[in-house]
Structures are given as C-alpha cells and as structure tokens.
Amino acid sequence: MPIKTWELDPNFKNEIMSEAGGERLASCFQCSTCTLGCPIAEIVPGYNPRKIIQMSLLGMRDEVLSNPDLWICLICQTCTARCPQDVRIADVMGALRRIAEREEEAGKLKIDSPRPLFDKAFQHQLKKFGRLYDMGLAMEYYPKKEGSFIKGMLAMMKDYKDFGMRMFLKGKMGPLGGGSPVKGMLASKIKQKDVMKKIFEELGEEGKEK
C-alpha cells in the first residue's frame, strides 16, 4: 500500500498512547514476534498485528481505524505475553477499537465489522443475567446485525445449522441449556448476579449498554 505522506496524522500515536492500554505503543521496534505467534495470523491471510502497530506509529489514522482487521483480534494476549518491548498489543487493539467506535458515533467513520454489535450484545447479556446466555446473545445480535428480526433469524439459522445444532445436541446451547437464565436460576447457578451489575456500574460510560 503506498503511503500518502500528506495524509499522515503525526498526532495519532499520541492519541493512542493517551488511551488506557495504549501507553507502550512507541516502544515497538518492529521485531514481528507478535505476528509470528498470533493464532489469527496463522489462519487469516494478511492479518498482521506488527503492521497495525507500524501504521499507527506512522500516523496512518484513517487506514488503521477503518481496517476490519482491528475487529478480528481475539484479545488472546499471546502477542502481549511474547513482546520483548512490553507493547501490550492486545490492549493497543482495544484502544484502537474505542477510538474507532467514537469516530463512528461522531459520524466520521463506518466500521466495517459486526463485531462491535456482538460485543455490545455480549455485555448486555452478562449484565442482564450475570452470565452468558447463548440463545439470548444470538437473539439480540442477529437482528441488529441484519437490520431486521426476520433477516436476523434467517441468518442465525444459516449460521447455526451446523455447529449450533451440535452445541444444542450436546446441551451446550438451547432455551434451557448452555447458560440459560431459566436453567441457571432453577439450579441456583447464577450466584451474585449483583456483582456483575456492580462491575458495569463501576465502568461508568465504558460499561454502559448501547
């Protein structure tokens, strides 16, 4: 990708470093250890956390924030554990995601990934039930992703016809299984639900459901 020097934002690295988790960005010396150990880089052609760090340091703000690769990182922390410079790449990814979400809220960017919707549905389920309720997550996420309830249900059935059915048959997912609030309540499995609510309250704006 040719670098358009006149479009570089020299302040971008400072913006990232002022976010929680982004503080160590400038310590990167481009050794590639992060990319070599990344499980996603092994299966997704072109996925390269080192490159995202490099582009961020160069000031390629628009390219970095609109890059869908930001949203496929698992935040597994493998790169963070191995980085010789303690860059904490997974946290840098989190910082970049927050900046991208703010840009989208301000109408300056369209995030090319359904991942923020998934994350919000995930948080909402945790807050509501004190643990993850798989069916609730799917019922909330798919309609938002597809733009309507019917389209969402059709997309969900398509995605779930293989692995979803296997999870269902193994009791890992279903209206009364796999994190169901009904089953959980009956079995008293959801303990200290209020603790989860408190965590969201402590997080303030960051923890608010959208």
Binding site for ligand SF4 (CB under 6 A): 28-34, 38-40, 49-50, 53, 73-79, 83-85, 87, 89-90
Give the Cα separation of 9 and 96 in Å (integer).
Answer: 15
CA dist 144 and 147 (Å) reads 5
Instruction: List the structure tokens of 9.
Output: 């934002």
Minimum CB separation of residue 87 from ligand SF4 in Å reads: 4
- Minimum CB distance to ligand SF4, residue 188 (Å): 35
Residue (49 or 130) nearer to ligand SF4, CB:
49
Please report how close the Cβ of residue 48 comes to ligand SF4 at its closest, in angstroms.
9
Nearest distance in Å: CB 75, ligand SF4: 5
Nearest residue (CB) to ligand SF4, 18 versus 30: 30
Q: Which is nearer to ligand SF4, 52 or 156 (CB)?
A: 52
Q: How far is CA 73 from CA 36, 78, 85, 209, in A?
A: 14, 11, 20, 22
Residue with tokens 């570089």: 8
Dihedral sign of CA atoms 53, 87, 118, 155 in order:
positive
Least distance from C-beta 177 to ligand SF4, angstroms?
29
Q: CB-wise, 84 or 175, nearer to ligand SF4?
A: 84
Instruction: Give strand pairing partners of 177.
Output: 174
18 or 32: whose CB is closer to ligand SF4? 32
3-class secondary-structure state, position 125: helix
